[in-house]
Copies of this chain bind each other. A is one copy, B any other.
Amino acid sequence: MTGAVRSRGPGRRPGPTETREAILASARELFAEKGYDGASLRAIAREAGVDPALVHHFFGNKEGVFIAAMRFPVDPGRLLPVIMAAPRERLGETMVRTFLEIWSDADRRAPILAMLRSAMTNERAAAMMREFVSSALFARAGAAADVPLVNVQSAAGQLIGVMLLRYVIRVEPIASVPEEELVTLIGPSIQRYLDHSAP
């Protein structure tokens, strides 16, 4: 009867170290929910069941946590080939479907949301997103589809905007419309941007 859940004193915990990953998981969740500035180190630590100082010990400072948590947003290197495998006249349709598939899964949506939310209010996060999105997404997609960058970005704008209304602001009816309806509605617009050949 002595084994009450004591508040656990200092010192290393028994067993293999799993706290680092726990911290990263909480960080992703909270950054996704509140953005960079809104998610506090202390809240992350609390959610991970850990002292705030431990977060520091592992990642140095808040920015370190953010950078570590953001590694692996979507892995475009693996996603692009899948999309490009579709027949050229169905590219738009395929892209909308892929986007919806990712966004409708909370776990895969989280890092993207975190990036977007943070970039909206934090200049450094905006810089990170700018660089990632330019080099890792737009440049590759443009090259793969042989389409000018402005076109790729217009298409991306369309997708981001709709996801924002659907999953962040949650305006009706677009928040509840079935996925297939969005595919037939938006797909052709995307297709149009990708049909224009390079100048």
User: Residues of A at under 8 Å CB distance from B?
Assistant: 34-35, 37-38, 116-117, 119-121, 126, 129-130, 133-134, 138, 149-151, 153-154, 156-165, 168-174, 177, 181-182, 185-186, 188-189, 192-193
Contacts and interface: CB of A to CB of B under 8 A. Distances in A.
B121 A169 contact: no
B130 A171 contact: yes
A186 B161 CA distance: 13
A165 B171 contact: no
A170 B130 contact: yes
A154 B183 CA distance: 11
B150 A185 contact: yes
A120 B168 contact: yes
Nearest to A168: B120
Contacts of A159: 161
Most chain B CB atoms below 10 A, which of A134, A149, A154, A186: A154
Given A126-B169, A168-B126, A192 B181 contact: no
A158 B158 contact: yes
A142 to B, nearest CB: 10
Nearest to A37: B38
Contacts of A120: 35, 116-117, 120-121, 168
A32 to B, nearest CB: 11
Contact of A171 (B134, B174, B181): B134
A169 B34 contact: no
Given A130-B170, A154-B182, 18 more contacts: A34-B121, A119-B168, A120-B121, A133-B169, A134-B172, A150-B173, A153-B165, A153-B171, A154-B162, A154-B185, A157-B161, A157-B164, A158-B189, A160-B161, A160-B165, A161-B164, A164-B164, A192-B192
Q: Which 9 interchain pairs have the tightest Cβ spacing?
A: A161-B161, A157-B161, A157-B162, A153-B174, A160-B161, A189-B189, A35-B121, A158-B158, A120-B120
